[in-house]
Structure 1
C-alpha cells in the first residue's frame, strides 16, 4: 500500500512538473512571419521606352521576420522583432543588403501604459498607410520620390514610445541618435518623430511630424531638373539634405462596404541655406462588394515648387484565401511645370509629361 501511494505521489509530482513547464513555455513565444509579392508590370514610358518586367514587393514589400513576446507578469512583457526585406525576383537581401534591414529592436510592453523599444525601426509616418485611399493599389500610389516617407522609412539608433489607447486617444514619440547611422540609414543626423491618433466607432484620424537632419533624398526619382539649386539628372542617386521635416494628417470613415479616406502631407527640405516645400493631397475610397473582393481608387495631387503631378490610381484585389490574393493595379500620372516629367515611384522617370502603368500580381502572407 505504501509503495502504491509513493508511486501515485511520484506520478502526481511528475504531472505537476510537466504542467508547470508547459505553462512556462506558453508564456514565451517566437513567431515566424512574412510576405511574398510578385507580378508583371507594364509601363508605357521609362526613359523614353516602354517596359514589361517582373517586379516584386509592389503590393506589399517582401518580408521575412521573427517576433517574440515573453510574459513578465502583471500585464508586462518583453518584446523583440528582427525583420528582413528581400527580392522575390532574385532572392537577394533588401535595404542595401542589410541582414535585418527593415526592423531590428527589443523592448518592454505594459498593456495599460504602452511600449518602449530600442533599435532600427520605422518612424511614425508609416502608420498613415491605412489612411491612404488606395494602399491596395501598390507602391505606385506613393509620391514620386517618397518625400513624405509614407512608403515606410526607418531610423537607426532609435528609442520609441507608443502609448496604449486611452478613451480612443493614443500618442507616441521616437528619437534617433546620430551615432553610427551609416549610409544605409534614412538619417545620418539626429531625428525625431511624433504622432497623435484618435479612433471612435467608424472614424479614425492621425497626425504625424517627422524631422531629420542629414536625410537622403532620391532626387533622380522626383521628375525635376532642378532641386534646391542643384541640377538633377534622371536616375541620379540620392543626395543628403541638411534637414527634412514632414507634417502629415490622415482620416477615414467606415461606411459599410465603403471606406473613404484622405491624407495630406507637407514636406520642407533645406540644404545649404536653400529650402523648398512639397505638398501631397490624396483622396479616394475602398469598396468591398463581397467579402473576397476589394476595389479601390484615389486621385492625388503633388506640388513641389513650380512642378506639379496629378495621378489616378485604381486597384482590384481578389482574395483566394485569408492569406493569398491576386490583384490588378493601374496608374496614370501627368506632370506640368518647367522641365518636369512624370516619374512614378519605383518605375523611373518618363521622357514626357505622362506615364501609365498596369500590373497584375499575387501575394501570400504567412
Structure 2
C-alpha cells in the first residue's frame, strides 16, 4: 500500500511537471465576438425593412488560435475561426465550419511568417486596418462601395508571407491556388502589400490580381455547365493612410479597379428593380474620413465616392456617420446612419459588416461584446 502511494505521488509530480513544460511552450486561446442589433433599411424595392441583424459592427464569431514555441525565435501558429448568426443561432455560411479563417504556419522573429489556408487578402487588410475609419463596421463602412465581395476579402488555398517590420516598413505576398483540374493558372490569385507605420502615421498600398480563366473541367461542374474560357485579369489597387492629429484621426484612400470581377456588386439581386445594375469593370474609389472622441465615446464619419468609368457610368456617393460608446474594454453600444446616392441605374446598397443591405439608406442600433 505504501509503495502504491509513493508511486502515485511520483506519477502526479511528473504529470504536473510535464504539463507545466507544455504550457510554457505552447498556448491555445479561445476568442470571439457577439454582435447584434436593430437594423432599419429603406429605399429599395423591398420597401422599409426592420429586423434584428447579426454582425453589424463585427461579424459574430468563435475562434481558436494557438502557438507553440519551437526555439531559436521560431514558433508554429494556427487559427480556426467560424462565423455565426446571433439572431438565429445558425452558422453564417451553410456547409462550412471554419469559413472565416483556417490557417497554419510558422513565424520567425527575424524572417517573418509563412501561413497556409483560408486567409484575408492583402488588399482587404489594407481596407479594413488602414483605410476605413469604420473598420468595415456599421452602415457607412467602406465595403458598400469599395469592392470587397467574393474573393477580394479572403480566399481558400492561400500561401501568405508576412515580413517582419524593419524601421517601420513591412510587407505581404500572397498566392492563392486556383485548383481547377486541367490548369495551374485558371482561378489563381496574387496579392501584395507594402506598409509603413511611424508615430502618428499609418500608410499601406494593397494589390490584388485574379485570373478569371475557367478550365474545361471546372466549367463542366458549374450549373449550368460553362465552356472553358480565357478571360481578362481583374485587378484592384488601393493606397490608404491614416494620421492621428491628436484630437482627430484623419483617413484617406484611393482605389483603382480594372477587369472582370474586379468590382462585384455587394447586393447582386437587383435591389431597386427595373434594369438590373451592371458591375463595373473599370472604376475608381475614394474615401475621406475621421474619428474623434466625443463625451466618453467615438464619433466616426466618412465620405466615399465611386466613379464608374465604363460606358454605364453608374457612379455612387455615400455619407456615413456613427457613434460608439464603450461600456467596458470589451463591450460597446453603437448607432450608425448612412445614405447612398446612386446614378444612372447603379445598384449600391447600405449594408453593414455582416450584410449587404437592401436599400439606399440604413440605421443601426446595437451592441458588441468580445471575449
TM over 0.5: yes
> What displacement does 1:362 show?
0.5
2:236 to 229, 246, 263: 246
* Superposition CA RMSD, Å: 3.0
Structure 2 CA distance for aligned equivalents of residues 48 and 29 of structure 1: 48
Unaligned runs of 5+ in 2: 1-5, 215-229, 262-278
1:41, 1:157 → 2: CA distance? 35
Aligned to 2:281: 276
Q: Distance in 2 between matches of 1:326 and 1:307?
A: 35
Verify the 8 A CA contact 2:42 2:358 in the aligned structure 1.
no
Which residue number corresponds to residue 191 of structure 1? 189
1:311 maps to 318
Change in CA separation of 1:347 and 1:210 when aligned onto 2, cut-off 3 Å: closer
Measured at CA, do residues 255 and 16 of structure 1 come closer, stay the same or move farther in structure 2, by a change above 3 Å?
A: farther
* 1:276 shift after superposition: 2.4
1:22 is aligned to 20
CA distance, structure 2, for counterparts of residue 322 and residue 262 of structure 1: 27
The separation in 2 between residues aligned to 1:28 and 1:192, in whole angstroms, is 32
Higher relative contact order (CA 8 A, sep 6+): 2
- Residue by residue over 1:104-142, the C-alpha shift from the partner in whole angstroms, topping out at 9 and shown as x without a partner, is 111000012210001111111222213212337525423
Distance 2:19 2:348 in 1: 61
1:143–1:302: 8 Å Cα contact kept in structure 2? Answer: no
Q: Give the alignment partner of residue 325 of structure 1, picking from 327, 332, 335.
A: 332
Query: Once the 2 structures are TM-superposed, how far is the Cα of residue 357 of structure 1 from its aligned partner?
Result: 1.1
Contact 2:136 2:143 in 1 (8 A): no
Q: Match for residue 269 of structure 2?
A: none
Equivalent residue, structure 2, for 1:256: 246
Q: Is the 8 A contact 1:215 1:244 kept in 2?
A: no
Maintained 8 Å contact 2:145/2:348? no
The 3-state SS of whatever aligns with 1:24 is: helix
> Normalising by the residue count of structure 1, what TM-score does the alignment of the two structures yield?
0.79
Matched, 1:340 2:346: yes
Structure ranking higher in strand proportion: 1
Counterpart of 2:56 in structure 1 is 58
Contact 1:174–1:193 under 8 Å retained in 2: yes
Q: CA deviation at 1:188?
A: 7.1
CA distance in 2, matches of 1:340, 1:364: 35
Q: 1:150 to 1:311 in 2, by over 3 A?
A: farther
Looking at structure 1, the residues matched to 321 and 79 of structure 2 have their Cα atoms a distance apart, in angstroms, of: 33
Residue number in structure 2 paired with 1:171: 171
Work out the number of aligned pairs and report it: 322
